[in-house]
């Protein structure tokens, strides 16, 4: 398995490219601002650079939620490679009205830019299983940060970035802004709901296998087990049954 990524734009949003291997079809997760701008020479900080470096063939774009820092380049990527885009229907409106999901103080960052839906836009549903680019992707609806937040789980294979912090990982999970290393996604923006987020964390995140490697929308990778033991936002949640690795 090949996973390549880079922090895109002023928010440092992690954009990921996932494939079975070099020279294969790939899925692009959360192409944020400047993800297709072509970064500094010699740096792998754009979708195009990583596609060329690994001889990949984009097959689709998956969005963990509709916030502007995660969707900014979704339509440009879709147009460039003629591929579909997937998003949960509760966040679909943010593709054309991104200001509806952010603080008004950030409006100046848009610079009058217009946002349009991709020509081929498809919706993600809870428990959907997508067969895309030779990968099996399981979708889990995780509302709270936004109404349409999802996580994306893939069976683990060799080759995640840097190391295997899971020590026998079973799956990879692209968590968007649901779960970070040591933190969780904010809930004070339009469409966020803190009570819903706590329910999501207690009933949908904590029951997951400790060995799942989490690749978040911002910051460093982690595991479910590590967050269960150290994340202060999970510490006071009610205990739930889990499939913890032994």
Domains of the chain: 2-230 (3.60.15.10)
SS3 of 221, please? coil
30 neighbors 217 (Cβ within 8 angstroms): yes
Distance of CA 243 to the CA centre of its chain: 23
Mean pLDDT of the chain, nearest integer: 89
Q: Can you list the positions of beta strands (E) in 33-187?
A: 57-62, 85-87, 121-123, 129-132, 135-141, 150-155, 171-176, 179-180, 183-184
189 neighbors 102 (Cβ within 8 angstroms): yes
Does the predicted model carry a pTM greater than 0.75? yes
The yes-or-no verdict on residue 29 having pLDDT over 50 is: yes
152 neighbors 137 (Cβ within 8 angstroms): yes
What pLDDT does residue 160 have?
53
Strand-by-strand arrangement of the 213-216 sheet: 129-132, 135-141, 150-155, 171-176, 213-216, 222-223
Q: Provide the 10 A C-beta neighbour count for residue 85.
A: 22
Angle at 10 between CA 124 and CA 200, to 5 degrees: 35
The yes-or-no verdict on residue 204 having pLDDT over 80 is: yes
pLDDT tens digits, residue range 108-159? Answer: 666 677 899 999 999 999 999 999 999 999 999 999 999 999 999 999 865 5
Residue bearing the bigger pLDDT, 163 or 229:
229
Q: How many residues does the chain have?
A: 246
SS3 of 241, please? coil
Nearest to 224, CA basis, from 234, 212, 237, 236: 212
Cα–Cα distances (Å) from 172 to 203, 209, 215, 216, 242, in that order, read: 19, 11, 7, 10, 17
What pLDDT does residue 45 have?
73
């Amino acid at each position: 398995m090949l996973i390549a990524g880079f922090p895109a734009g002023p928010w440092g949003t992690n954009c990921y490219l996932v494939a079975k291997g070099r020279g294969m079809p790939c899925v692009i997760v959360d192409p944020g601002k400047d993800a297709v701008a072509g970064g500094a020479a010699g740096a792998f900080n754009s979708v195009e650079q990583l596609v060329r470096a690994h001889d990949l063939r984009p097959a689709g774009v998956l969005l963990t939620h509709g916030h502007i820092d995660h969707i900014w380049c979704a339509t440009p990527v879709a147009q460039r490679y003629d591929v579909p885009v997937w998003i949960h229907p509760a966040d679909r409106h943010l593709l054309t009205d991104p200001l509806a999901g952010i603080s008004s103080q950030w409006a100046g960052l848009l610079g009058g830019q217009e946002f349009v839906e991709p020509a081929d836009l498809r919706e993600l549903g809870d428990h959907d299983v997508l067969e895309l680019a030779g990968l099996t992707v399981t979708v889990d609806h995780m509302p709270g940060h936004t109404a349409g937040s999802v996580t994306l789980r893939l069976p683990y294979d060799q080759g995640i970035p840097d190391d295997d912090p899971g020590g026998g990982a079973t799956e990879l999970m692209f968590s968007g802004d649901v779960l970070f290393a040591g933190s969780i996604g904010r809930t004070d923006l339009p469409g966020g709901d803190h009570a819903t987020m706590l329910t999501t964390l207690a009933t949908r995140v904590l029951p997951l296998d400790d060995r799942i490697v989490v690749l978040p929308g911002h910051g460093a990778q982690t595991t479910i087990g590590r967050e269960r033991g150290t994340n202060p936002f999970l510490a006071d949640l009610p205990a739930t049954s889990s499939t913890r690795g032994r």
